[in-house]
Structures are given as C-alpha cells and as structure tokens.
Structure 1
Amino acid sequence: MVSDKEVESAYKVAKERYAEVGVDTEEVLKKLQNIRVSLPCWQGDDIHGFLTPDEALSGGIGVSGNYPGIAKTPEELTKDLEEAFKLIPAKQRLQLHQIYAVTNGKKKDVSEVGPKDFKFWVDWAKENGIYLDFNPTFFSSPKVKENMTLASPEKGVRDYWIQVGKNARAISNYFGEEQGAQSVDNFWIMDGMKDEPISRLDPRERLIESLDEINKEKYDEKNTIESYEGKLFGTGVESYTVGSHFFYDNYALTRNKFWCMDIGHFHEAEDPSDYLSAFLAFGKGMFLHITRPVHWDSDHVPTLEDRTIRMMSALIRDNLLSKTVIGLDFFDASINRVAAWVIGTRATQKALLLGLLAPIDKLKEVENQYDFTLRFAETEELKSFPFGAVWDEFCLRNNVPVGMDWYKELKDYEKNVQFKRN
C-alpha cells in the first residue's frame, strides 16, 4: 500500500516537471474533476435487465463468460454500482437501457415502459450525485421482425417500435428534469440484412420517417437530447446495416441532434479520433462510446491504449469537451463485473489526464509557425513524463484507493457480497 506521504512527494516532483513545459497540474486536476464519464449499467448483469431477465439475448447481442456474482435485482445492481463509484475518482454518469425499468412486480412490455418505471433509478441517482443517460432497447424482442424494427416494411412493426422510441424520449426528459442536467438519449437499432438487399434506400427512407415521427414531440434540450449511433455491421446484418455511420451522421446534422460514435464500430486500421473535429465542425454535439475493439465490434473493457488516448487528446486539443458526452460501452462476464467498470472508467480518465497534461496553446503556436521539429520533440518527450504521479494525486484527493489498492477492496466486496449471491 502506497502511503499518502509518498503520493504527495511524487506529485510534488511531477508538478515541477510539468511546470517546466508550461503545464499547471493544479489546473489540470480541476478540469479532470469536472469531466463525467457515463458508465454502461448493462456491464453489471450481462444486459439482462428487469423486464424479461430470464430470456436469452438476441439481435446481434451476446456476452461471453460466466463469472460468479452477477446482479439479478435492481438493489443488487445499484449496490455493485456504488462499489464501483467508490473506486473511481470524481462524480460520473450512468447509461440505462429501457429494459432496466423497475416495475415493482408488474409485468410490462417494453412498449409500455414510461418515466414512472424509472423513479427507482432517479431516486438512487440523486442520493449518489450521478447523472443518468438513456438508451431505448430495440433488440431481444419477438417484435423484431427479420432483423428489422423502425425500418421494417411492415407498418405494424414500425408503429410498435415508434412507440418504444417515443416512450424513451419521455423517460430521458424525465431524467433531465429531475437531475437538472441534460440526459443523452442514445438510439442504436440493429436493423439490417444478412445478405445483399435489392434496395438499400427503401429501408433508410422508412427509418427516417420513423425517427421523424418519434421526434415530433418537442422537449426542452436542457433536459434531453437524442443521439444516433451508427454501425458498420453486426451478427445477422453482415451485408447491410440500415443505420450506418454516414446515415446517422447526416441524420444528426440535418435534425440538429447528436451523433454517437462508438469506436468499436470502426476497423482497427482506422483512426476514429479524426471524425471528432470533422463532425463537430458542423454538428451540435457528440455522444462517445469508448470501448476496446478486438477484431472489430467486440465491446471489450477499455484500456489505456493508443486509440483511447488519441480520442481523448483530440477532444482536449480542439476544445471539444463542451460539445461531447463521453460514454463507455462494454460488457464482459469473464471477469468480476464491478472490476470491469473500475478498470474501464479509470483507463478513460487516465487518457483524459494524458491529454490535459500538455501545453496545448504553446504547441498550437509552434505548429502555426511551422516548427514541426519542436512539436515532434516535445510531444514525444511528454510520453515519459510522470503522469502516473498526477493520477495518484487525483485519486488521493478524491479519497479513492491509489494504484492496485482498489483491487483489495474489490476482492473483499466480491467475497462478502457478490459470491454470496450464488
């Protein structure tokens, strides 16, 4: 266990090192303190939810692993989240899916779920200082017809899912009203085809019509804003995905909404950080899904890898944090589910810290003077600066375990709480 005195001593040295290149670590820590990351609630229970928890997942969704201690009730899931938040510095956000409605024993279809079914979550979030974001659930339902929902050729199918989308907007608006901060309502639909379609346009025109119908009611954007998540392909929709990146990019721009960019939905050879400035030069805002793709969309727990660092650095270098909500999207049942939240969120925060610990204004000035040698030299040297000491200080100031000390606390929780569920 590292002592507080050792952390403070190391931070003092790091503070002096960064000051030499014009970085005020105290200002950096203040900025990091105010950046909230939106965790995925579905990591805690393998995306079962509480409407039909015993039904198998479908619609291109699957979780690998069977680690013991899974949360099976709203109380167990919130208890696990509280444990995770104890081990993550600063205050964060939480994404809920529609299937996580708490209906108090009353059987409900997802199309019947409304704001009152999320009072449990709103009360809990207020007690814990957490902001809530939302996701309508367009999968794992018999109402999904041949991998189609809002783009279905059947009007009855479209109408059903339009109602689901309308309810989702009302729920997200309820979150925003209650928490006094905007809730992002993120739409991801799995619509597509396994083999080549005859028409690629017809389903997209139906999807546009459906989304426009969902958006007819006006809500105050201080409470809620919709985002639209593109995807390249998925299981069962390998040849054609209706809601592609370009489709939702354009829909968000023309409707003045957010675009959701999941970095797991891009080829490993691509650099999705470049899309941030390309879209936000025109768009209202962006909702990010930070994940770790292993051979594309596999939703692994994020780590402090180059792709995550580039994403966070791009936001900071171009001053785009005010137009972006950073969310996470992963599910892993092969390891302790609470540990996954902790590892993934802390890794994302570390990537943000690395981006903040750079003399951005100075480097921009150097770049505009065509001094690419100095730009190259200084950005390279910063990679070996003692950012870990600043991170440890950030944890210490937030009364969060430093280094691997969090793991000991988690193992105690695992033994005394999670494993007793089985």
Structure 2
Amino acid sequence: MELINQEQLRNFEPQINPAATGALYAKTAGIISPWELAIALAENAMDNGVKLFLNSVVQSIHKENSVFTVKTATSVFRSKIIINAAGVQAAKINDMIARPAFKIIPRRGEYYVLDKTASGMVHHVVFQPPGKLGKGVLITPTVHGNVLVGPNSDSVPDDEAIETTAAGLDYVRQKGLRSFQNIPFHKTINIFAGLRAEPDTGDFIIAESPDVKGFINVAGIKSPGLSASPAIAELVVELVDGILPSLKPNTDFIAHRRKAYHFAELSNAEKTALINIDPRYARIVCRCENITEGEIVDAIHRNAGATTVDGIKRRVRPGMGRCQGGFCMPRVMEILARELNRDMASILKDRPGSQIITGTTKTNSVVEYEEATIA
C-alpha cells in the first residue's frame, strides 16, 4: 500500500474529480470476473469427480451414528461432513442441525453497467473513503471493457430481494459523481442488484459448529470474500483434515480446465485453424460481443454447463453488449433447445419461473413447459 499525492493520482486517473487531493494506492489489486471464476471452479470440481445437484433446496438435516442425512424435495444425501456455504441463507441451514449461533442480514447492492465506449474514463478500481456500511460506491473497469458503478448498501428483510430501486440507483449515481464528475450515465446498458451476506458477528464465520461435530459453517462471507476465497478454502481443508484425518490427497487430481476459446481474442490464423476444426466458430451469434455458435455449444457441453439463457450469458457473454440480447437471445434459445434436446418453450432466462416463451402469437394457446435447472 502506498499513499500518493494529487499529482500522482491524476497521472493514474486523469478524469478524477479535481477536488481529490490524494489516495491510498494498492499496487497488487486486480480485477477478475466473479461469474467466470465460480463457474471455472465448479467445472474443475466436476472434472475431478464432484457431482453437482442444482435446484435442490434443503428441507431437513439429521445426524445419526456420525452420519448426516440431508433431504431435499427430490433426493437424499448422506455424508460424514457438511460444509455450509449457503450465502445469505447460511443461518437457516445452520439452524436445521445446530443451535442458532449467528444471523445473516442480506445487504442489497445496486449497480450501473456502462457501455464499453465509456471505458477510457477510469483505469483502476476507485473507491471513496469507507464508511460504517463498507467500502462504499466504486467506479471500476471490468475485465471485458465495461465500466461498473456501485454499490449502495441497504439491509433488506428478504434474502431474495435482488430488485433494483429508484432510490438506490439515485444514491449510487450521486455518490459516483463525487469521484468522477463526468460519468456518462447515458451510456448505461444494464442495472442490477445483488445481496451480500452480512453476519451479525461482524466477521467471516469459518469454523466447525461447537454443537455438531462434522458440521462446518462457511458463512457471512461478505467483501472481500472473493479475494479471500483461496485462503478460506485452505482453512476449510484444514478443518476437514482435523475431522477425518484418514483422508488422503487425490494423486490423480486434474489441475487444469480444458481450454476455452474466446474467438474474438484470437489472431486471424488461430481463427482460421479453429474454424477448420469446428465450422460453428464461423457463425457469429452475438454481434455486440462477437460471440460464436461454437463458444455457446462448448459452454453447454462442459461440466457444470449452461442450461439457461443467463447461464450462457455469464459464461461466454452473448447478451452482455449494448443491445443486452435484443438480437441474439432467440438464437441462443434455439441453440440451447437443440443441444439439450428440449422444446424451445422450456428454455428459461435464469431461475425456475423465468420462462421467456409463454404462448404462441395469434392464438389463445399457452405453452406447457417443465422447469429447467439453474446454471
């Protein structure tokens, strides 16, 4: 960490508010895509034998003779260890098997996403001085060239309250303008909200339950949880080793993912070679982000593959550009339906209940569909 003066600050960020007199500069700070990291880790886990059960809401947890039984609406699971990493619902999971030990307060944060044409305004992650509710509103470039402005921090009673609000977005806008006076909010291409898991303990909860041996809570992982996740994982491994010392490292562990091609980033020679192997890479589906059919098909058929429109969007970015899927979404749905051997009406935007096709035009018919898996 280094304190820099106003001149140094303006060399780093020429468009920063002239009223800013200095900053604390973190030389080793970086920017990643959180969706892509989480998906890559899930894929690698499955490559190494993990089974993934989505849309499996836990209904009950019991323990008998050192073995846990976890029941969902569709399955029963048994294990000697449970790792509770349920985010904003972690307290609910804990309370199914152990005495209430903590509460999780959902904290909603709202953001603006600006078009890539705004990317030249900011070159680093720029925070304002933190307050009692966290690090405050930031302005940052993304790994893909957009600009992100946000978040606010509002405690909400509902752990699924991910809607945006006029008041919240106005707060973000006004606070953001204190850092950069000319943020081009007219270039906004999307707004969204997410929930942080704020623990009433004030810090991360990474420990075996004192009541139930083998039940490990990994809860209240608010910011900087993403940055801390590798260290958290190592700590959890130590806890597991202490409970089951007979476990041995997997000597056949696969450490690397199968290569994923980002067609727009390849050289012309590399593009030609890839098209010769698979002609689907020659068909552009998303014109805003130059995403090919080959990339979409690959994202579907990998372990932890996509089954929804947003699942594809988060993996390979069709729909992330200026039109936000206005042109490419029907084609993405067609590809999902074809590759998953499903009717197009069953393809969801994201979670169960987010169907896109609800009927056919010029008739009174309503499409019957089955709920798809969130991915």
More helix by share: 1
Higher relative contact order (CA 8 A, sep 6+): 1
Task: Output the TM-score relative to the length of structure 2.
Answer: 0.24
Higher strand share: 2
Q: What TM-score do the two structures reach when normalised by structure 1?
A: 0.22
